[in-house]
Structure formats: C-alpha cells, structure tokens
Amino acid sequence: MSKENRYDADIHQENTDETGADVKEETARTGAGTQENVGTEGSAGHSDQKSDSLTDKRPEESKTGRSEDTEDGPKEDAKAQSADVRKKKKGAPMKGRSRKRRRRGKRNRQNRQKKKIGKKAWIITGCIIGGLAVVYLGVAAFFLSHFLINTTINGKDFSGKTAEDVEEYLKEQVKGYQLTLVEQGGVTDVITGSEISLEYKENSDVEDALEEQNQLLWIAAFFSRSSTDITIEVEYDEAALEEKIQSVQAVTAEQVEPVSAHPEFDGNSYVVAPEVYGTAVDMEVFVSKIREHITAFRPQLDMAAEGCYVMPAYTSASPEVQEACDTMNQYMAASITYPMTEDVVVDKSLISTWLSYDENMQVTFDETAVREWMREFGSKYDTVGKTRSVTSPTGETAEVSGGTYGWSVDEDTETKNLIESIKNGEVAEREPVYNQTAASHSAQDWGTTYIEVDISDQHMWYIVDGSVAMESDVVTGLPDGDRDTPTGVYSILYTERDSTLKGEIDPATGRPSYETPVDFWMPFTWQGHGFHDATWQSSFGGSRFRTNGSHGCVNMPYDKASQLFEMISSGTPVIVHG
C-alpha cells in the first residue's frame, strides 16, 4: 500500500471512531435516544465497518498485484483512491448531523430542568401562603377574645386586653378615686369618690365593643387607631356632687366676664385690641366636664384647657376682627373740608365716632349720626333769621333779627353727599349744598354792599363796598301793630317800573283796600313790603310815620326812589332795624 492510501485509510478510521463515540456519548447523556436515532446510528456503524473491511482487504490485493506485475495493477490503485475520496466526503455530513442532535438534546434537558424548577416554586409558594393563612387566622382567633391593637376605651389604651381586663380596670378606678380641679392662678379643689358615694355598675358595653370589632382586619389595626367610648355606669350622690361644685373656689369667686378682641381707634386708624379673659365660669360646661371626668375616672380637670370659663367670642387671631378693622379704615380714608368762617373738616377723628361693630363683627356706619351732625352744622352756619349786629354810618350799633336773607344749608342733600363721600374714601374741599346763600361767612353776612333802613331815625342808606352811595329820609309803616314795617335782614326780590300796589281784600267790598300806582317798585318781602316812590307824602323823615305812616312799605321821595332803582338789582341785601 502506498503512503497516500494508508493516510486516507487512517483518516477514514478516525472518522469512523469519532462518529461511533459521538453516538455512544449522545446516547449515554440522554439515557436513550429515539428508536429512529438508534437505527440511524447502527446503520452508520455497519457501513463504517464494511468500509474498514474493504480497506483492510485492499492492501493484500495490492501486494498480490505488485508481485505479479500485471497490467491491472495501476487501475486497481486508482479505484482505491477514488473510494477513499468518496468516503471522506460522506463522513462530513454525518458529523454535522451529530452536532445538531447534541444541541437539540441539550435544549430538551434545559426545558425539562426549567419545568422541574417551576413546579418546585409553586409548591413552595403554596406552602408559604398556607402557613401565613394559618398564622393570620390564628391571630384573628386570638382577637375574638382580645381587643385589637391601638384600641382605646374612654381614652385609655387596651390593646390586646380582654373584656375582663377592662372590667377589672374600671372597678379599680373607683377605689380611692379623686378628681383634682385646676383653676386659674394655680388654685385647686378636689372632689373625692367617697364624698359623692361613687360606685361602679357593670354593664354589657365592654363585651359589646369587643364583639363589634372586626377580628379579620386585625393587621389593619397596626396602622390606625380605634377609639371607643363606653358608657360607664356609675352611681353617685347627685346632691353631694352639686354641693361640691357650688363650693369650688372658681365658682364662689367674683365672676368677671371676658372681653373679646375688637377694633379700637388709636387716633390714626382702627387696630385689633386684644381679648381679655375673665373669671366667669361657664356652669353648663363646667358641670358637664365634671360628670364626664368622673365617669371616665380621669384624675384631673384643667378648667381653662377644657373651656370651663366663659371665653371671649373673638381673639386677636380671629379673622373677623381684622376684617372689621379693614372695613372701618376704608371709611376713615375720607376727608371732606368745608370752607366756612373757618375750615370744618370731616376726617377720621370725626368719622370714627360714626362707626361701630356688632357681636358678629359686622361694621355699621351710622348714617343717622351723620344726619344729626349735618343738622348741627347747618344750625351753626345758617344765618337766616339769626340776630346780627349792624353799625350804621352814624356810628350807632343796633341788633337785628328775623328776615329771610342769609345762609341756609340744604341739610338733606348735603347729608347724602357726605355719606357717599365717606363710603368712597373721598378726599375733597367743597362748599355744602345750600338752599340759599349770602355774601359772606362773616358775622355781617350781607357783606359790604347793602341797603340799611333805620326806622327810629326814618332814614335809609345805600352802602356800596362799605361807603354810602346814596341816602334819603323815608316814611315807614304806621306803628299800630298791623302796618309796621318788618325788621330783619332781607334782599331785593326784583325791581319793576309802573306797578300798582294793592292792599288786602276788603271782605265788605270784595276789592283791595287800596290800589296805588307807583313808578318804581323794589319789594323785599313776598307779603308786599318794599321801596317805592310816594308822591302823596308831603314830607319825609321825622315823626311823620307815626301819623301818616305807610301800610308797611318804605316811602321815598320820587327822585330818591328813581336814583335807588337805577343803582340796585335783585339780591341786594336789605337791613331794617329800629
């Protein structure tokens, strides 16, 4: 055999051995392959064995051929080489299929292992859940006879306690029980159970509270609190308790009522005045708290902390008080100045007196008070009908009162205006609204231009800017009580030429008592008093008016009446004194 043939044979043998070994190894790992795989492996092995047998025979034939040195020798060698090449090509696919089988087997093993692990996990989880359920129900069974965690009864923690434990505690509280009352100023009083014959009475409330709890929700009790108020039935001497209450020092002391925080004017604005606590006891609350503490066997009652004193309705922290201050200060922003003989200012110092608040801290602006102030304002600055002093050109001074001339404030209209200005926080200087006005706010409100008539001297002057512009003797009304010329301060109502003066109607005739034509008519009252020419008078001045006086008018010489008519106009002040 040639070297090349031997090399091919060795390679073929190695492939055959590897294939058989792979099959055996795969079979051993999987425990046993499928029947189809086993058959395939067997066939492959049988084929390999045949190849090996043929290979083994070929060297012998080769040797024989060469010794005989026949012509067929070279042909046989070529056939042997061709067979070796075919075997090599056939061995490669066989090896690839073997690798695929190995990978598939590995995956199968991994899948089987995962299934086993999953089953184990479910079994373990089920066991844990079952164990926890048993424990949970066991704890729930425990709380059938015990109170849940975080359970308080009448303010005391009874977590995990039985109804018997609660009953025993309540009974123990009665023995030697005493209630200490802590009052203002550190004063204390004590009410003992023996003083009021205190006894505990059993009832079903504790058992009922235990039955009402939901044991299956015991775990939730760790995260929340359950408070139960149990009616503890106790017996005590009502009369004895009432006597003890009435002897408490806080009750026997002077009962000073508290003062709530409230708006207070500090001279500039409204600020919150702090509350003042009193000593007055709220007996209804006090008695209720005492009974409550005794029933719950509480050892101490702090009267202030429990609200046993009459408390202020509002404190400095109450928003209602600050809101009231804010509202009042909005009114206080207003400032109205009236320029009279001196400035009259309505500002916060006055407005503050018109503001108030009720028990609910609702602000009230007293419009009635504003109206009353305006009435006083008008009374002070109205001059109509008031007594004034006048100094004649002769230097004599006379008092004059009455008449229709002067200042008169329209109080109703100006009150409305002022209220509106204050509500709007207005700042302004203005004249009040007047029914009528005068020339000046001085004492002589007629100013420096006016007509003056002196009845006693039977003389008149027309003064312009303080100086006499014209003057004349006159005849005034007959001083008989019916035809007197009225005194007072008036003003010229109008001027008229060629007028007929008429007297009152005579009931007997139904006609005016007189009808007198005049050329210059200057009335100063609506009752028919005025200046006019009187050509029928033979003289003027002196005492003629006492016998030949007019019906109340001021008779003037024709030329003087004409002169005055040309100098005056309606509104000119007229002062008549006498």
Q: Are 437 and 520 in contact (CB under 8 A)?
A: no
pLDDT band at 41 (very low <50, low <70, confident <90, very high): very low
Residue 536 or residue 3, greater confidence? 536
Q: Is the pLDDT confidence value at 534 over 60?
A: yes
What is the percent of the chain with per-residue pLDDT over 90, rounded to a whole number?
A: 59
pLDDT tens digit sequence for 155-197 = 778 888 898 888 778 777 677 899 999 999 999 999 999 999 9
- Please tell me whether the overall predicted TM-score, pTM, comes out greater than 0.75 for this model: no
Q: Is the pLDDT confidence value at 43 over 50?
A: no
Pair type for strands 262-265 and 408-409? unpaired
Alpha carbon 263 to chain centroid distance? 19
- Mean pLDDT along residues 424-435: 96
Taking alpha carbons only, the member of 205, 211, 210, 213 closest to residue 295 is: 205
CA distances from 485 to 37, 127, 279, 446, 528 (A): 158, 130, 75, 20, 10
pLDDT tens digit sequence for 435-489 = 999 999 889 999 999 999 999 999 999 999 999 999 999 999 999 999 999 999 9
Q: Give the C-alpha separation, 576 to 578, whole Å.
A: 7
Helices 3-30, 73-142: inter-axial angle, 10-degree rounding = 20
Q: Give the C-alpha separation, 208 to 380, whole Å.
A: 83
Q: Count the neighbouring beta carbons within 10 Å of the beta carbon of residue 461.
A: 19
Q: Give the C-alpha separation, 332 to 344, whole Å.
A: 16
Long-range residue pairs from 49-52, CB within 8 A, at least 24 positions apart, any chain:
51/12, 51/16, 51/87, 52/12, 52/13, 52/16
Domain covering 450-577, topology: L,D-transpeptidase catalytic domain-like (2.40.440)
Domain covering 320-436, topology: Ubiquitin-like (UB roll) (3.10.20)
Q: Is the pLDDT confidence value at 52 over 60?
A: no
Taking alpha carbons only, the member of 430, 333, 421, 438 closest to residue 383 is: 438
Give the SS3 label for residue 489: strand
Q: Is the pLDDT confidence value at 573 over 70?
A: yes
**What confidence score (pLDDT) does residue 45 get?**
41
**What confidence score (pLDDT) does residue 80 get?**
54
- For the chain, which residues make up each domain, given as ranges? 3-126, 143-256+281-302, 320-436, 450-577
Q: Is the pLDDT confidence value at 40 over 90?
A: no
Residue 421 or residue 171, greater confidence? 421
Q: Give the C-alpha separation, 520 to 53, whole Å.
A: 178
- Mean pLDDT along residues 357-379: 96
At CA 358, angle to CA 355 and CA 363, rounded to 5? 40
Alpha carbon 304 to chain centroid distance? 29
pLDDT tens digit sequence for 282-318 = 999 999 999 999 988 889 999 999 999 999 999 999 9
pLDDT band at 95 (very low <50, low <70, confident <90, very high): low
Task: Quote the tokens at residue 499.
Answer: 């007028």
Q: Is the pLDDT confidence value at 391 over 70?
A: yes
Give the alpha-carbon dihedral of 85, 87, 89, 93, to 10 degrees: -170
Cα dihedral 235, 240, 242, 244 sign: negative
What is the percent of the chain with per-residue pLDDT over 70, rounded to a whole number?
A: 81
- Phi/psi of residue 129, nearest 5 degrees: -65, -45
pLDDT band at 81 (very low <50, low <70, confident <90, very high): low
